[in-house]
Amino acid sequence: METFGEPMGFVKNKRYVQDRENTLAALYLDTIDEPIVDIVAGFAGLRHCFTLQCCYGHFVYAPEQDLRRLEPIPFDFNGLVRYRIAYIAFCLEESRHGETLRDSLARIAAISPDYIQFGSVKWFWEHCVNSYALQVEPIAHQFKDEAILEPVEALQTQTVRNHFFRELRALLHREMSEQVTG
C-alpha cells in the first residue's frame, strides 16, 4: 500500500460538501482506535475538513498479540517489534481555512522529520481531491504501512507517535477556537 507522496496543490472540488456529508454519515466512532476518537470527532465538527482514514499505530512484539493492540511497548523489551503505522488522512476544503489547516498539518511534520511525514497519497487523492495525510513512520520505512523495528527505534517511534497526537489535539483546539470566533 502506498502510504506517502509529496503534497499536491489544491484543486477545485465541486463535490466537497457532498463528499463531507457522505463521509460523516458513514463515520462510526466505535470503529476508530479509542485513543484518537476525540481527534476524529473533533475534526468532524470543522466545516473545512473531514477525516478519511486514521490509525493510532500498533506495536506488536509477541506472536500471540492482537495486531490492533493499543498497549505501549514495555520499556525493557529487547526484541524486534512489528509496527503498523500511525496516520490520519484528511480531505480539506479549497478555502482560506482549508489552506491554513493544510499549512498547519505540514508544520506538524517538522516536529520530527525523521519520523513524521506529511503529503498526499495517490489513492486517497483519486477518491477525494485535496486529501492530505500525516504519518508516523521512521523515514527509512516511509513508503510502507508497517515495519519491523529494533527496540530502541520502536520506543522512539512510540514516543514520537504520542507527541504527534498531542500536537494534533492542540491544532484541533486552535481550529475549533478559530471556527467559533471566525
Does pLDDT of 12 surpass 90? yes
Amino acid (one-letter) located at 5: G
- φ/ψ of residue 10, rounded to 5: -65, 145
The pLDDT of residue 182:
58
- φ/ψ of residue 41, rounded to 5: -65, -40
Rounded-to-integer distance, Cα 151 and Cα 128, Å: 37
- The Cβ of residue 4 has, within 10 Å, a number of other Cβ atoms equal to 21
> CA separation (Å) from 67 to 8, 58, 96, 104, 159?
32, 7, 39, 31, 19
Domains in the chain, ordered, with CATH?
16-181 (3.30.1960)
Rounded-to-integer distance, Cα 160 and Cα 101, Å: 21
For range 143-167, the mean pLDDT: 96
- Regarding pTM above 0.85, the answer is yes
